[in-house]
Chain A
Amino acid sequence: MSFEQPRINTSPKVSDEVRKTTCYMCACRCGINVHMKDGKVAYIEGNRDHPVNKGVLCAKGSAGIMQVNAPSRLRAPLKRVGPRGSGEFEEISWDEALDIATGWLAPLRKEDPSKLAFFTGRDQSQSFTSFWAQNFGTPNYAAHGGFCSVNMAAAGIYTMGGAFWEFGQPDWDHTKLFMIFGVAEDHDSNPIKMGIGKIKARGAKVIGVNPIRSGYNAVADDWVGITPGTDGLFILSLVHCLLKAGKIDLDYLARYTNAAYLVNRDSTSAEYGLFLRDADGKPQVIDRNTGKLAPFDRKGVRPDLSASYRQGGITHKPVMHMMASRYLAKEYAPEAVAEQCGVKPAKIRAIANELARVAFEEEIVLEREWTDFRGEKHSVMKGRPVSFHAMRGISAHSNGFQTCRALHMLQILLGSVEVPGGFRFKPPYPKPVTAHPTPHCKATPDAPLDGPHLGFVRGPQDLALREDGTPARIDKAFTWENPMSAHGLMHMVISNAHAGDPYKIDTLFMYMANMSWNSSMNTRGVIDMLTDKDENGEYVIPRIIYSDAYSSEMVAYADLILPDTTYLERYDCISLLDRPICEADAAADAIRWPVVEPDRDVRGFQTVLVQLANKLKLPGFTDEGGAAKYTDYADYITNHERKPGIGPLAGWRSGKTGLTHGRGAPNPSQLKSYIANGGFFIKHIPDEAAYMKPWNMAYQEWAVGMGIYDSPQPYVFDLYVETMRQFQLAAEGHGERQPPAHLRERIKQTLDPLPVWYPPFEDGSIDTGEYPVHALTQRPMAMYHSWGTQNAWLRQIHGQNPLYVPTKIWEKEGFAEGDWARVTSAHGEIVVPVAHMAALNENTVWTWNAIGKRKGAWALDEDAPEATRGFLLNHLIHELLPPKGDGLRWSNSDPITGQAAWFDLRVKIEKTAAPDQAKPEFSAIRSPVGKGPDELRWKVGE
């Protein structure tokens, strides 16, 4: 049969217009090209020019089109008319909604601003929301960092002035060995995938440390299927091997770290463990040129890592001595840690050997001259091409802060931070603790807070305590329970507010935080707290205001709903004042703008905050006469100045002779410039300033010019964190501010100024024989929190989540495909479907995060698999440790930062008859938005 090939049009029109904005399908903030046809979103792809994703886009990003049409989008402000949790609401106007909110908030501000708790979840506008809260005057503000990864962020900043992800990245162009710890498949998403692809293409190696071999760990050349919660011990064993072999970068340690700082070693001294300082407060070192004492940063000084110094009868030793005596101890030998870590001694040694080989045998040199802060000129930039990345897997444990510190110590010992081939900071980092604010908590009626809420304590003097020593904040951040809680403790807010511990609040105001479902530990308990009534029949938490774009589980538990827009319908700024999108080679920031207008009666949450601030006449938002400074968020983004010349966006500001970048006056057309430039601004760092940033004067001066610092801030890395020693000293009885008796021992043990490992707290408070199995969650690459399940395309990829069970347990329990298991922790029980997975630590089970849904939420059918077979591990995890019989509420958090210890969870697992659906079951909530269509054929163009 002869065949005539059809003629087809191979050049169809792609779109009428491309609008470039910033993605919000997860937290990575990639640039996207939104192709428009007939005013509708036709196709979304990555923006090739954008610094974060350089054209690529993940599954979530490409599925954004199904978010803009999602039936779960809220449509109008809602006022609760049924009991909390019923989902019974009445649609109201924005005028009424703002009146209600103002009616609740204005009296609180007048009488006691701390009666408002304002917590903002997965907020990307924290410099704005915190400014609002500060002007309201409540000390009770934070975003979600405390239940996410504060350990990672705080350990990085306290150790080296920056951490992973938003703070820095591997030198993808030069690194030869990339090692990841506890990295699931997010944070950050596309850049890590791009980086792994890039280094694999040139044959560089990847080592993955994770109990679960999926995602990045699946493509890693070598896998360490470590026992959860033991990463710190494993890392300290690597440190032991490297120290013992002398495979550390002594020159780097002497010049760029506090390894040479002299420490008071007299245990009877009130300054035991503190640095020897001169009259100006400068830490002292022995100068190897002269053998004499000198401030560490004096011009020409060669800090000596070895020499001790005796003064006034007190011996002072360099930090390096203390590290040697601690980490050379046999307790860190591979043989000593192997069983606990679930890693063979030979493998630990092989990895240490590989780190040593690549760092010291494959040294790379860039021919770039630079000058350090001691005035010394260097002809080259020398690099040790080993790089690391880590995320929640090591962070979300009660020993997470110290584990993250241990990892930073490892990379610093190798001399691989801020050097070619190593880990590099992204502006505005590096930024030492001294350049960060301390926390502020002084609330005054009818006045702003005395300063920014969140910050970095330098010692007990900076704790957020009231005059009577009780916590000033509802989440007990910056207290003796967790002194260095730089991101607050969002996971404790509802629990503490319900318990009235440390005090009762009136209004809980939240944004993008699904607290009655996947964003809380102890979900059932939190639901009960939100609906609990006192003896007068009033809700224990009297008022709840919530803002979300979608019909999440939390909506049903609020009294007033302020519906947000989707990310394609709004202005936003991804600011250098906040969590920017910089690269190691460039400073960058970005915007979102309404590429489509909302077709519902919804408003961007930040605009609503501006409108509320205007009604409340908050200083900062209104002038002395009470007139509004900003009409909406776009107006704020353009015209707000945090200090003269510094605004939310760094690009296209007004200079004396025209447009300028960094410092400059507000430019009324700034947003137009951003839109014309593809939605972002980027300014490259000069070559001679691109590495060695904390010590490189060319970088320091460039950063001042950009408005990142007001003056150069060179510093050295803190292998030894003196602030932690200050807390230990207090626990030992020194100083005026003293911890309560029940916390002294814990502070002494855990706030060690050198990285240390201790077992996760849950292990110490339950019978590990009864609960022998570790249980984890990971976020899938194609889904982000709960948002993905309402997405018609993404839920076809991850519509349910089995519990993955390793071979040993699978066989022992006699599981077969299609079976169900009862999983029990010290706190609760779930019954869930299981699946076998061999590439898994033999004592660990896991599942995907936040797939399980409550019936009636997210505009899904009540028999959706997310609601019938999907499940949360959250039911097994309590926000408190099991009671110790002392009547105290011990938070299930890291004792240093308050990071929620999700991954300390221990369970037992047994086969059980298949139920109708996953347990526990929850009644359906009434959907405030109805349900979605039966079929989608989503073609918007011809």
Chain B
Amino acid sequence: MTTLPEKTDRKLGLVIDLDTCVGCHACVVSCKGWNTENYGAPLSDQDPYGADPSGTFLNRVHSYEVQPEEGAAQLIHFPKSCLHCEDAPCVTVCPTGASYKRVEDGIVLVNESACIGCGLCAWACPYGAREMDAAEGVMKKCTLCVDRIYNVNLPEEDRVPACVRTCPAGARHFGDLGDPESDVSKLVEERGGMDLMPEQGTKPVNKYLPPRPKDELDQVDVLAPYLQPVAEEPKGFIGWLDRTLEKL
């Protein structure tokens, strides 16, 4: 068993806008690229050109269809990575202390040199956010790009997670969710940001902004107030044209 800190100084995390995420997987591959080259062992790929390619990814995008009772079905793109929970069961279940939550910023990390690859943490995580690297035999997970966000070798504006920097639609936001005045906290407040599976009691730090209501034009008054006819027939239209041109 590994203990969680009683509190963390900050609660760094992601706010992901499901209204805007187009499901392009830019975040998935940017994450793969950065984390293959950086923190810990590379994210390996098995059978990469074969019948059953499978590799380690710290962030994946899933798509779900929603069929409302009335109206057209909708498709929601749902990116998922570690949510850096306040009560992270993956940490408390770790037998070696390899999984831990950082006191200064709340990031949940795996110390790969202490990880024995037992997989208990992946079993304990209700979100399926951890992946065992098949080549290295250690558990991999989102580091919130801990080697970017403080990295003095990067320009200041680039000190954000790779997925946030690359997201073309601007659907991913990074910041301190422990600070009610931070941009991300305000965004969560404004847009009704949600916890993922709150009933699990994990208190995830990452938040999801729900899609805005869709297909509202289906409910518009059929009278269409801006479409009052000026004429029914071409001849009447020419008359209207003439009168209107005179006023221009």
Contact = CB atoms under 8 A, between A and B. Distances in A.
Interface in A1-60: 1, 3, 5-6, 8-14, 37, 42-46, 48, 53, 55-60
Which secondary structure dominates where chain B touches chain A? loop
Nearest to A867: B51
Interface string A810-842: 000000000000000000000000000111100
B65 interface: yes
Contacts of B242: 306
A612 interface: no
A11 B166 contact: no
Contact of B169 (A197, A838, A938, A939): A197
A862 to B, nearest CB: 9
Given A194-B169, A781-B25, A200 B48 contact: no
Interface in A277-302: 288
A14 B45 CA distance: 22
A223 B153 contact: no
A6 B75 CA distance: 42
B245 A352 contact: no
Interface centre among A220, A357, A793 (most CB of B within 10 A): A793
Interface string B206-243: 00000110111110101011111111111001101110
A849 to B, nearest CB: 15
A56 B22 CA distance: 14
B75 A218 contact: yes
Contact of A350 (B30, B49, B211, B218): B218
Interface in B71-118: 72-77, 97, 100, 102-103, 109, 111, 114
Interface stretch (A243-251, A381-389, A658-666): A243-251
Of B76, B114, B166, B211, chain A has the most CB atoms within 10 Å of the CB of B166
A793 B75 contact: no
Interface string B183-216: 0000000000000000000000000000110111
Given A46-B166, A58-B24, A324 B238 contact: yes
Contacts of B162: 45
Interface in A506-565: none
Contact of A352 (B24, B227, B241): B227
A931 B152 CA distance: 41
Nearest to B246: A288
A305 interface: yes
Most interface-central of A71, A223, A351 (chain B CB within 10 A): A223
A863 B52 CA distance: 9
Contacts of A356: 226-227
A370 to B, nearest CB: 19
Contact of B25 (A3, A200, A305, A782): A782
A361 B230 CA distance: 17
A672 interface: no
Interface stretch (A90-98, A209-217, A736-744): A209-217
Interface in B103-156: 103, 109, 111, 114, 135-136, 146-147, 149-154
A197 B2 CA distance: 41
B26 A306 contact: no
Interface stretch (A408-416, A602-610, A758-766, A795-803): A795-803
A169 interface: no
Nearest to A307: B242
Contact of B215 (A193, A223, A304, A352): A223
Interface residues of B, number: 99
B241 A63 contact: no
Given A71-B49, A200-B20, A62 B29 contact: yes
A288 B238 CA distance: 15
A57 B224 contact: no
A207 interface: yes
B23 interface: yes
A324 B22 contact: no
A320 to B, nearest CB: 7
Given A781-B22, A795-B53, A799-B53, A213 B37 contact: no
Contact of B73 (A6, A12, A213, A793): A213
B235 to A, nearest CB: 9
Contacts of B154: 14
A197 B20 CA distance: 6
Contact of A347 (B32, B218, B237): B218
A724 B149 CA distance: 59
Contacts of B73: 213, 807, 838-840
A860 B1 CA distance: 44
Interface residues of A, number: 116
Contacts of A782: 24-25, 28-29
Contacts of B23: 214-215, 218, 781
Contacts of B168: 53, 56-58, 189-190, 193-194, 197
Give the one of A10, A201, A859 with max B CB within 10 A: A10
A166 interface: no
Given A10-B147, A197-B170, A353-B224, A793 B45 contact: yes
A865 interface: yes
Contacts of A347: 217-218
A940 B47 CA distance: 20
B21 to A, nearest CB: 7
Given A57-B26, A215-B22, A837-B65, A353 B42 contact: no
A376 interface: no
A656 interface: no
Nearest to A861: B50
Contacts of A189: 24, 168
Contact of A222 (B2, B214, B230): B214
B169 A213 contact: no
A353 B22 contact: no
B46 A935 contact: yes
A11 B152 contact: yes
Contact of A936 (B44, B114, B220): B44
A5 B91 CA distance: 12
A13 B153 contact: yes
A185 interface: yes
Contacts of A305: 241, 245
Contacts of A349: 222, 224, 227
A793 B33 CA distance: 9
B153 A11 contact: yes
A131 to B, nearest CB: 34
B226 A357 contact: yes
B170 A198 contact: yes
A934 interface: yes
Nearest to A783: B25
B21 A219 contact: yes
Given A59-B29, A197-B169, A792-B48, 10 more contacts: A11-B152, A44-B33, A62-B26, A62-B29, A350-B222, A792-B49, A859-B49, A937-B41, A938-B37, A940-B37
30 contacts: A1-B3, A5-B103, A6-B109, A10-B150, A58-B25, A59-B30, A62-B30, A63-B33, A197-B169, A201-B20, A207-B217, A214-B75, A219-B77, A250-B244, A324-B238, A346-B222, A349-B222, A353-B226, A354-B217, A781-B23, A781-B24, A781-B26, A807-B73, A838-B73, A840-B73, A861-B47, A864-B50, A932-B49, A934-B50, A939-B36
Interface of A: 1, 3, 5-6, 8-14, 37, 42-46, 48, 53, 55-63, 65, 71, 185, 189-190, 193-194, 196-198, 200-201, 207, 213-216, 218-223, 225, 241-247, 250-251, 254, 288, 304-306, 320-321, 324-325, 328, 346-347, 349-354, 356-357, 360-361, 781-782, 790, 792-797, 799, 807, 837-840, 859-861, 863-865, 868, 931-941
Among all A-B residue pairs, the 5 with the closest Cβ atoms: A932-B49, A838-B73, A193-B168, A197-B170, A792-B48
Interface of B: 1-3, 19-26, 28-30, 32-34, 36-39, 41-42, 44-55, 57, 63, 65, 67, 72-77, 97, 100, 102-103, 109, 111, 114, 135-136, 146-147, 149-154, 157, 162, 165-171, 211-212, 214-218, 220, 222, 224-234, 237-238, 240-242, 244-245, 248
